[in-house]
Chain A
Amino acid sequence: MAQNQTSPATKRISTYLMMIVLIVIALSIVSLILAANAYLIGDGLTAGFLAIIGLIAMTMSIFTLYQSRRQAVQMKIEMPKVMTTIECKKCGSKTVREYQRGDYVYKELDACPKCPDTKQIITAIYKEVKEKEKTYNV
């Protein structure tokens, strides 16, 4: 069953945002060039000042671009893996397999391989979530 497939990501980064980011990147490059220039003529303080401005602006714009790209990538519906637990009430054997269409809790299945006179039943259907949930110390 293909329920774990994810739908293709729909990419869409706003042109407006892209334009702003590109302008800021251009300004930061100018600032870095000026910083290099200032350093070459021996004005270390001005060079440092311009370099800091340039680096901060560049970092912020790249971060904004990365954030919006991540948002675009997240645009997909993730289907979790669902598992079915099958038990034999007589011998207590338990098997877990991937969910199949038509499974439901307390559905009777084929006879148990160990006890041919007892039918196995589905006792649980669940998904396991590996959550990266933030914990707050409060």
Chain B
Amino acid sequence: MSLIPGSGAITRILSLAIALPVSTNQLGGSSDWTTYLSLISYLFFIVLIFYGQRIQMYVMIREVENSLHKLKYIKEEGRKNAIDAIKEIGKPTTDPSARVDRYLEYFTISPQNMDPAGIVYKLDHILDVRDTRLKDEVKLMAPSSDEVQVNNLENTLEAAMALNFIYKVVRHYYIQGKKTLSLYVIMQIQMILPMIMKEAEAYASALKAFAYGQPIGDGAGALVAAKLMHGYELRKLPKDCVMATVQIEGRTAIIIKAEGPGGNVGKPGDAVEAVIEENEGKIANVIMIDAGLKLEGELVGEVAEGIGAAIGGPGVDQYKIEEKLTKYHIPINAVIIKEDIGDAVSPMRKEINDSVDKVIERVKAVILERTKEGDKIIIVGVGNSIGVGQ
């Protein structure tokens, strides 16, 4: 017999949820089962009231743990790929694994910024030392490799290094979260996990691109410069950059890019500085072309135009360029090719490759609008020159 009064169907359904143990007594032999089922439901409800947040935390920890397993797998693959590439290209006489493991743990300490005056040049020096040290390590690991291969292997190891670092940071938060059982510690990493995973997957796909020497999305600027300077006489510039003097729309354009086809970003700051000084500041305009981070919803390979020094990295090159431009009051324009972080470090997408001609058209338009015939201009193709000759 039901304890719930009322005969309407809706009332009856609602009442069933509350009085399930009693109403299902009518089921005869299964009444015990029904009682247990209801008790479990009540228990579940009570547990959720008191331990809801803790359960939510366990779910988050589990989610981070799953991603951590994936990151560990990607990191191990990265290490394996790097070692395989070194063995294949560098033909070392001993097993490079131990040296690779040591390389993956390298760190760089940025200069003290309590007194920020002159910090850019201190950082520049530290980065130069780092670059030389890492290149020397690669040469020791892969003695049979030439300059281009050393650059490619260095890039491969840097991608493996990035994967190793990402894994260790996520693992740190995961263990800390488990140790402290703090929702907020685990929440920090859980909230940004999709972005971290996207970046890690991009680096994983970059590993092979670097090892094989394929052009990457970040090299879009370098590719534009290569197209403009191809077939012209080249001259080396500091550091690891090349330049060619080209006539465009009646103007003398000095095209600068990092020297390819090895994985190399050069130091466009030093190169632009040198060219401006050589010309005693008589430069009508500087146009910088680089890959720019796109927002969700924007198309890969979209071209946009703006003002300012389009160059990423630690900021040393941007600072040097801005210093020189300010000294000689030279205007600066920028053209960017939009892509996301995944596209920037993985093999170049067709859309990015196809946008090169659009960029050249845009650069020509800027030259026509912003300079006069006979003027001298600088065009800098910023980005990693891996897989891009000149």
Measured between beta carbons, the chain A residues less than 8 angstroms from B350 are 126-129
Binary contact readout A31-44 vs B (1 if CB under 8 angstroms, 0 otherwise): 10110011001010
Question: Contact flags (1/0) for B18-39 with A, using CB distance below 8 Å?
Answer: 0000011011111001100100
A107 with B389: CB separation less than 8 A:
yes
Question: In the complex the two chains form, is B389's CB within 8 Å of A34's CB?
Answer: no
Chain A 91-112: CB-based contact to B (< 8 A → 1; otherwise 0) = 0000000010111111100000
Pick from A3, A7, A75, A104: contact of B388, CB under 8 Å: A104
- For residue B62, CB closer than 8 A to chain A, the reply is yes
CB neighbours (8 Å) of B388 from chain A are 104-106
Q: Is the CB–CB distance between A77 and B77 below 8 Å?
A: yes
Chain A residues with Cβ under 8 A from B34's Cβ?
Answer: 34
| Chain A stretch 21-69: residues in CB contact (< 8 A) with chain B | 27, 30-31, 33-34, 37-38, 41, 43, 45-46, 49
Q: Decide yes or no whether A115 CB sits under 8 A from chain B.
A: no
Interface status of B267 (Cβ within 8 A of chain A): no
Contact B33 A82 (CB under 8 A): no
* Residue among B12, B208, B215, B352 with max Cβ neighbours from chain A (10 Å): B215
B349 touches A78 (CB 8 A): no
Q: Are A125 and B348 in contact (CB under 8 A)?
A: yes
On whether the beta carbons of A37 and B390 are closer than 8 Å, the reply is no
* A34 CB contact (under 8 Å) in B9, B33, B204, B346: B33
**CB atoms of B23 and A46 under 8 A apart:** yes
- Do residues A75 and B390 form an inter-chain contact, with CB atoms below 8 A? no
Q: Tally inter-chain residue pairs, CB-CB below 8 A.
A: 121
A101 to B387 CA separation, bound complex (whole angstroms): 10
Determine how close the nearest CB of chain B comes to the CB of A61; give it in whole angstroms.
Answer: 14
With A75-B69, A106-B226, A125-B215 already in contact, the answer to whether A17 and B62 are too (CB < 8 A) is: yes
Q: Which residues of A contact B348 (CB under 8 A)?
A: 125-127
Known contacts being A10-B69, A27-B40, A126-B350, is A77 close to B213, with CB within 8 Å? no
Q: Is B137 close to A, CB under 8 A?
A: no
Q: Is the CB of A106 within 8 A of B30?
A: no
- Rounded to whole Å, the gap between the CB of A4 and the closest CB of chain B is 10
| CB-contact partner of B205 in A33, A46, A80, A125, under 8 A | A80
Which of chain B's residues have a CB closer than 8 A to the CB of A124? 353
Contact-size category for A:
35 or more
Q: Choose one: A17, A33, A38, A104; the contact of B387 (CB below 8 Å).
A: A104
Chain B 200-249 residues near chain A, CB threshold 8 A: 201, 204-205, 208-209, 212-215, 223, 226, 230
- Measured between alpha carbons, how far is A16 from B214 in the docked complex, in Å? 43
Interface flags, B301-329, vs A, CB<8A=1, else 0: 00000000000000000000000000000
Main secondary structure of the interface of A (DSSP, over half): loop
Known A80-B347, A138-B297; contact A104-B260, beta-carbon cutoff 8 A: yes
Given contacts A46-B24, A75-B69, A75-B70, contact A34 B347 (CB under 8 A): no
Looking across the interface, which residue of chain A has its beta carbon closest to that of B229? Answer: A106
Residues in A whose Cβ lies below 8 Å from that of B33? 30, 33-34
Do A127 and B27 touch (CB < 8 A)?
A: no
Q: How far is the CB of B244 from chain A (nearest CB, A)?
A: 12
Tell me the complex Cα distance, A14–B37, Å.
Answer: 26
What is the distance, in angstroms, from A70's C-beta to the closest C-beta of chain B?
12
Complex alpha-carbon distance, A17 and B261, angstroms: 49
Residue of A nearest to B29 (CB): A37
Residue of B at shortest CB range from A34? B30
A-binding residues in B (CB < 8 A): 9, 12-13, 16-17, 23-24, 26-30, 33-34, 37, 40, 62, 65-66, 69-70, 73-74, 77, 201, 204-205, 208-209, 212-215, 223, 226, 230, 260-261, 297, 346-350, 352-353, 387-390
25 contacts between A and B (CB under 8 A): A7-B77, A14-B62, A14-B66, A34-B34, A38-B24, A41-B26, A41-B27, A45-B9, A46-B26, A49-B16, A77-B74, A77-B201, A82-B209, A82-B214, A99-B212, A102-B213, A103-B214, A104-B213, A104-B215, A124-B353, A125-B348, A126-B350, A126-B352, A127-B349, A128-B349
- List A residues at the B interface (Cβ < 8 Å): 3, 7, 10, 12, 14, 16-17, 27, 30-31, 33-34, 37-38, 41, 43, 45-46, 49, 71, 75, 77-80, 82, 99, 101-107, 124-129, 136, 138
